Amino acid sequence: MPHRPIKRILIANRGEIAVRIIRACRELGITAVAVYSDVDRSALHVRRANQAVALGGATSGESYLNKTKLLEAARKARVDAVHPGYGFLSENADFAEAVEHAGFKFIGPPPSAIRTLGDKTEARKRARELGVPTVPGTVEPLVDAGQAFDVAGAVGYPVLLKAAAGGGGRGMRIVNSEDEMPSAFATAHSEALNAFGDGRLYLEKLIENPRHVEVQVLADSHGSVLHLGERECSVQRRHQKVVEESPSPIIDEAMRAQMGDAAVTLARSAGYVNAGTVEFIVDAKKNFYFLEVNTRLQVEHPVTELVTGIDLVAEQIRIAGGGRLEQRQAEIRQRGHAIECRVYAEDPANRFLPSTGTLERYVLPEGPRVRVDNGYRQGDMVNLYYDPLLAKVVTWGRTRKESIAAMKRSLAEFHIGGVRSTIPFCQFVLSHGRFLKGDYDTGFVAMYFAPEALYREGNRAQVAAAIMAARAKARMTGVAPGDDATFTTQRSREWKKNRHATLR
Amino acid sequence: MPHRPIKRILIANRGEIAVRIIRACRELGITAVAVYSDVDRSALHVRRANQAVALGGATSGESYLNKTKLLEAARKARVDAVHPGYGFLSENADFAEAVEHAGFKFIGPPPSAIRTLGDKTEARKRARELGVPTVPGTVEPLVDAGQAFDVAGAVGYPVLLKAAAGGGGRGMRIVNSEDEMPSAFATAHSEALNAFGDGRLYLEKLIENPRHVEVQVLADSHGSVLHLGERECSVQRRHQKVVEESPSPIIDEAMRAQMGDAAVTLARSAGYVNAGTVEFIVDAKKNFYFLEVNTRLQVEHPVTELVTGIDLVAEQIRIAGGGRLEQRQAEIRQRGHAIECRVYAEDPANRFLPSTGTLERYVLPEGPRVRVDNGYRQGDMVNLYYDPLLAKVVTWGRTRKESIAAMKRSLAEFHIGGVRSTIPFCQFVLSHGRFLKGDYDTGFVAMYFAPEALYREGNRAQVAAAIMAARAKARMTGVAPGDDATFTTQRSREWKKNRHATLR
Amino acid sequence: MEKEPARHIALARNEYLVAINGVRMRVLLNSDGVATVNGVRHAYDLHESPEGGTSLIMDGSVFEVAVLARKRQRADQDGIPDASERIAVSVNGTDFEAAVDDRHSLLVKSLMKTTAHDARSITVRAPMPGLIVRIEVEAGQAISAGQGLLVLEAMKMENEIRALQAGRVKEIFVQSGRAVEKDERLMLIDAE
Amino acid sequence: MEKEPARHIALARNEYLVAINGVRMRVLLNSDGVATVNGVRHAYDLHESPEGGTSLIMDGSVFEVAVLARKRQRADQDGIPDASERIAVSVNGTDFEAAVDDRHSLLVKSLMKTTAHDARSITVRAPMPGLIVRIEVEAGQAISAGQGLLVLEAMKMENEIRALQAGRVKEIFVQSGRAVEKDERLMLIDAE
């Protein structure tokens, strides 16, 4: 099939990932066309694009999830290809198909590969067939809550209910006992239906507090499939990742090769093309089990980029344009160590609930070792319509110790005012002995984190805040510092004497 | 000699380099103490420090060049060491000595090494003795203008007059013929005297349009001396570097080893410790000649950091604390390619003259591949008192092509309003065929650059500016767009009819 | 000083009571550059910037500070407006929400009657802005601790709000499908 | 249109003459979202941000724009104040300095008499702000093209200002040691 060269790309996304893709386009000399909902009119991803097409609406359904509007925008802007980013329609095979039918390249895997590997149940079946280890549980989606009781009884509680279609923790519930099953099943089903339009669930034995380790895969349309090493993503709240690193502190060369081979085997079997991620859980004995495939770019892709030197988004675009992977597996080398901290508009002191408002202060870290993938500017509103990810801070060091030091320095420079963020939580993680030793798993947050550990500002910072607040109040009421200086030394005596004079 | 551990450092500098050193301190867990002149009271380097001591004054002489005040600040802040940065007192052996005598570590070479290698005349003599090639010219400083005539006659015009004490293009003049010698000698002498307090000059044959290539050296106090490869710095205006890259497009492994050996030999012979740079010029036949040693950190050190992964400032601090270099020469590897563009507050369309004012708009590039070492914030004043360097943009790529693409993308994102900058000049360089081919030398600017090449904004950008300006004027005068909509279609006829009605 | 009732504190004209995270500080602005906080004198240097952020150098240490927007006044549990000024300050990237009183606001407070508060009545408030997906109880219904009361959706996540203790639903202020603000009243529970 | 003298242009109330880098454009603000520039209609979308920078989407293309401070009015060569509004606009990181006229400023201009201009008299102005280090000529002195006139120091660099053509020094406005602003008059030269 002859490939039309990719000169113009529609980025069907928003926020930091849209900005990141736009940057790759600009470096490749490709015209980047942004789309925007009404509330995103002056968002950073619009400002950084070459061109922009309005989608209208505010909710995701009216805009970034609206296939018809997106295809219309692609036609209007006469693009050659569509990049879906992550989230939204990135794992939607129907959208990928519609994009290709409309005559545009979809920058991602073929619809068939999304269907085969994106469906968790199908993917698990395939993994079993290929000899890739999987966690005991259902192979087919559950028929009803009754079947859930039966299977859970067979593999033994605790078990995990998961959406067949989704990811990112939505439609996922831990069930500790029979009693919890009815409401857990109902909630997971409803969440899955709302989030993915598909309420099917499956069930598996819960491996308690595993590590979450994933392998990055790149495949071109000429049969070459590579893995780019692993990412350790075990620091999670609500089953969503917050801190990731590469390489994992527990994976050695041999295990990396084993997991990499498993990932490549799975991808190859499904005719996978473009970037994808094979997720595994690793138990305390370092046994790894296939979890699922994310048939798209991951939020945490930058840590792989920093250690391998490979630009995953640029590779995605090249692959979609029919290009060949330039490296062989033996040439992929990890250099040093990278960490990513996700900065969400959430209040870690209040169960990570979303925090909305205006970014009254928003100052990014700069300088050596740090990369910031960011989607906001000071003065922007953070609203309820979309994912609360503001930015990602990624640091690099020759050693894990160096990249942690760089991250702590960078997080201290990242000043957000007006909206709560996960920065203090990330600072907690980066200072915790378990994390520093690399000895942590997905139970880390539940086990060690308590909101009391946050905002441990020194007494001096509070004094500074008090002086600033008092000065602000004085300015509001027109009082100048020292207006009542006689009170400084001899308060009680002078008080009576001056009472009359100083009352306004 | 037992070393007191370095826990607190006074940074005797300002601007981006002070901020960069503060960041290294914070990553190493060291308390960073800034100093500031009156006009720098709220400068970024103060904001980023843990502590700050006022020096008072505005001019460099009253503040960052004032040894007494700096030593007093070091005592007051009870620091263990002083980092001089570059410029100011960084190459002043007397200051280094005074710092050590006052009981602080000087983060830089020993005063004896600064004296031996920092004095250009002495360094040239030593290089000749060691068999390192040098350019024909005087070995001793010139006695007077008369001697300058004699030597110039002997080696043949054109010749170069250079300050014995200085660097950075100050006190340097090209002399093409006898006629030019008197005024050139007077100006160079006067500039050198003002800038360095030392008017001595020397003279050498001008190698016309050489390349400027320098080698980074690191030496510890235990006898280990390494070189970290070269930097190509041939894009210069007024003999000052603007764009640098590593590796150089013309240096191969063999030449790198030769130049590296020469640099290490020189450093070792002078008992050099800490970071330093050995500068060479390279003629069209790839012969290299020793030029001078910079006994300090260079402005362009980040390109070396990006390709070697070594943090030069952190190494400087470790070395000053008595630490050993961890690598051996064979372990130093360059990975990929890095470029630096210096963003000066200068008007490239007007002979690179300084441009002062308020940074009404100051938006830094972000995202993959780019590092920004920056000293300013939006709203800051750029004044006449100090060096006009605002920030450095440094990009990395697996290949030179990739780092150039990342640089072009990053410069396009760097928005400065209110003050002219060298960004458009750097954009010119990054798009020039000669630069893209790597086929350029120090004659590049004189040969290819003309201000007409700048600000080639498309017609559409001008139209956008015109609309914005018209809207701003309308707002000032209280006119709303469409206020006179009748004029839109039938201007001339309507004009007379409405004349009365629309005149205020 | 912390236990002294607010109305008995005599403040100077340039003196303030500042409460941050439950810590009360008495701040006297002696002059421009000197403040006494809880009796300890602090020398500071502050140069305010038009761009918002600046540095406060206090006793030699640097704090990057910014005064954020003045918060709207919050009604307390009983609906009585709080006379204190709410000012948010960012210090080294952390937001501090300060309640600031001067002599005037203290006077206002001392004059306001406080309504008796029924400790057995619990107001359930929205922990975040969001959309009410469904309400799982009815007015008058007896509930047990941990029981789900309603489901709030925000940023595509459903969050179940549960009862902290057993009791009876007294009143429900919202309906399914409604968007609510953070801290908006959702239900009133009579605790057992 | 460019050669038409300004005073003969009839502008609508919502119409402007904008000169940028020597290019004159006639801008009609038809409505909020449509402008006609030199007869070409442009649809645009602009949402101004409180923080200064924003994006203008014009005919589908994005321009990151900001209106910078209004420049002080500049006296022209003959000391007559220029009635045009000077407005600096940043577009994609490049500053554009626009001279904007509306119907009123054009009227003012047409009423102002222009003084005859002596083409043989050249004003030497400071190319940048700086300090006069030394003056190398005297009033009345004959000078040749390229001859050094004075030395201006800025940011520790000495910059020699030289004569562009031969002539005679008519007047010197500054003294050694004085700080000067950009564009400040330094000398008057009678050209040969």
Catalytic residue chosen out of the listed positions B296, B342, B369, B420 = B296
Tokens 């150089």 sit on residue: B248
Q: B-chain residues within 8 Å CB-CB of D26?
A: none
Cis before A2? omega within 30 = no
pLDDT average, residue stretch B318-339: 96
pLDDT average, residue stretch B319-340: 96
Determine what percent of chain B falls in helix, strand and coil, rounding each to the nearest 5. 40, 25, 40
- The pLDDT tens digits for B448-490 are 999 888 876 678 899 999 999 999 999 888 888 877 644 333 3
pLDDT average, residue stretch B57-64: 93
Judge whether residue B347 has pLDDT over 70. yes
pLDDT average, residue stretch D137-143: 90
Distance CA C109, CA C112 (A): 5
Q: B-chain residues within 8 Å CB-CB of C45?
A: 41, 54
At D111 the pLDDT is 63
Mean of the per-residue pLDDT values for chain A?
91
Residue B303, min C-alpha distance to chain C (Å): 30
For chain D, which residues make up each domain, given as ranges?
Answer: 6-112, 121-191
Q: Any CB–CB contact under 8 A between C132 and chain A?
A: no
Name the CA dihedral angle for B202, B204, B210, B215, rounded to a multiple of 10 degrees. -50
**Chain A to chain D Cβ contacts (< 8 Å):** 38
**Given 3.40.140.10, 3.30.870.10, 2.40.50.100, 3.40.50.800, which CATH number is that of D121-191?**
2.40.50.100
Asked if B296 is an active-site residue, the reply is: yes
At C180 the pLDDT is 87
**pLDDT band at C52, cuts 50/70/90?**
low
Q: Which chains touch C (3 or more CB pairs under 8 A)?
A: A, B
**pLDDT band at D71, cuts 50/70/90?**
low
Judge whether residue B53 has pLDDT over 60. yes
* A230-234, B398-402, B485-489: segment of lowest average pLDDT: B485-489
**pLDDT band at B130, cuts 50/70/90?**
very high
Q: Tell me if D128 and B353 make a contact (CB, 8 A cut-off).
A: yes
How many other C-beta atoms are found inside a 10 Å radius of the C-beta of residue A345?
25
Q: Tell me if D95 and B417 make a contact (CB, 8 A cut-off).
A: yes
The two structure tokens encoding residue A234: 């075990």
- The pLDDT tens digits for B71-81 are 999 999 999 99
- The pLDDT tens digits for C93-134 are 888 989 999 988 887 776 654 433 445 677 888 877 888 888
Judge whether residue B141 has pLDDT over 70. yes
Mean of the per-residue pLDDT values for chain B?
91
Q: What are phi and psi of B135, to 5 degrees?
A: -80, 140
Q: Model-level pTM?
A: 0.84
Residue A330, min C-alpha distance to chain C (Å): 42
Q: Tell me if A402 and B371 make a contact (CB, 8 A cut-off).
A: no
Residue type at position C57: I
Closest chain B residue to the Cα of A397, Cα to Cα: B309
Partner-chain residue, chosen from C49, C51, C57, that has the shortest CB–CB distance to B52: C57
Q: What are phi and psi of A47, to 5 degrees?
A: -65, -30
Judge whether residue A365 has pLDDT over 90. yes
Q: D-chain residues within 8 Å CB-CB of A360?
A: none
Q: Is B394 exposed, middle or buried (0-12, 13-18, 19+ CB in 10 A)?
A: buried
Q: D-chain residues within 8 Å CB-CB of A79?
A: none
Architecture per CATH, D6-112 = 2-Layer Sandwich (3.30)
* B105-119, B189-203, C5-19: segment of lowest average pLDDT: C5-19
Q: Tell me if A41 and D47 make a contact (CB, 8 A cut-off).
A: yes
pLDDT average, residue stretch C152-171: 79
Q: B-chain residues within 8 Å CB-CB of D94?
A: 424, 455, 457, 461
Partner-chain residue, chosen from C50, C51, C55, that has the shortest CB–CB distance to B46: C55
Judge whether residue A39 has pLDDT over 80. yes
Q: D-chain residues within 8 Å CB-CB of B465?
A: 18, 20, 65, 89, 91, 96, 98
Residue A109, C-beta contacts closer than 8 angstroms, at least 6 positions apart: A96, A117, A272, A273, A274, A276, A295
Closest chain B residue to the Cα of D61, Cα to Cα: B460
Q: Tell me if C54 and B47 make a contact (CB, 8 A cut-off).
A: yes
Judge whether residue B168 has pLDDT over 70. no
Q: B-chain residues within 8 Å CB-CB of A28?
A: 405
How many other C-beta atoms are found inside a 10 Å radius of the C-beta of residue D14?
25
Residue D48, min C-alpha distance to chain A (Å): 8
Closest chain C residue to the Cα of A489, Cα to Cα: C30
Residue C102, min C-alpha distance to chain B (Å): 29
Closest CA to B223 of B123, B324, B113, B116: B324
Q: B-chain residues within 8 Å CB-CB of C54?
A: 42, 47
Closest chain A residue to the Cα of D64, Cα to Cα: A47
Residue type at position A500: H
- Which stretch, A194-203, C7-16, D45-54, has highest mean pLDDT? A194-203
pLDDT average, residue stretch B222-228: 97
> Directed axis angle between helix A301-308 and helix A312-320, to 10°?
100
pLDDT average, residue stretch D137-153: 86
At C75 the pLDDT is 41
Q: What are phi and psi of C32, to 5 degrees?
A: -75, 100
Residue A45, min C-alpha distance to chain C (Å): 20
pLDDT average, residue stretch D112-123: 56
Q: What SS3 state is found at A501?
A: helix
Q: Tell me if C60 and B53 make a contact (CB, 8 A cut-off).
A: yes
At C121 the pLDDT is 75
Closest CA to B250 of B235, B230, B264, B236: B230
Interface list for D 13-72 with A (CB within 8 A): 45, 47, 49-51, 53-55, 57, 60-62, 64
Q: Any CB–CB contact under 8 A between D107 and chain B?
A: no
* A331-340, A485-494, C169-178: segment of lowest average pLDDT: A485-494
Distance CA C135, CA A162 (A): 24
At A167 the pLDDT is 67
Catalytic residues of A: 296
Distance CA B389, CA B242 (A): 10
At B3 the pLDDT is 59
- The pLDDT tens digits for D4-42 are 444 457 888 899 999 998 889 999 999 889 999 999 999
Judge whether residue C10 has pLDDT over 90. no
Residue B231, min C-alpha distance to chain A (Å): 18
Q: Which chains touch B (3 or more CB pairs under 8 A)?
A: A, C, D
- The pLDDT tens digits for B367-397 are 999 999 999 999 999 988 999 999 999 999 9
Supply the ipTM of this predicted assembly.
0.80
Q: Any CB–CB contact under 8 A between C79 and chain B?
A: no
pLDDT average, residue stretch A293-298: 97
At B459 the pLDDT is 83
Q: Any CB–CB contact under 8 A between C159 and chain A?
A: yes
Residue D3, C-beta contacts closer than 8 angstroms, at least 6 positions apart: none
Q: B-chain residues within 8 Å CB-CB of D42?
A: 463, 467
Q: Any CB–CB contact under 8 A between C158 and chain A?
A: yes
Partner-chain residue, chosen from C50, C53, C61, that has the shortest CB–CB distance to B50: C61
Distance CA B489, CA B471 (A): 20
DSSP label at residue A453: G
The two structure tokens encoding residue A14: 């928003």
Looking at D35-76, list the stretches that DSSP marks H as alpha helix, in order from N- to C-terminal side: none
Domains D6-112 and D121-191 share a fold: no
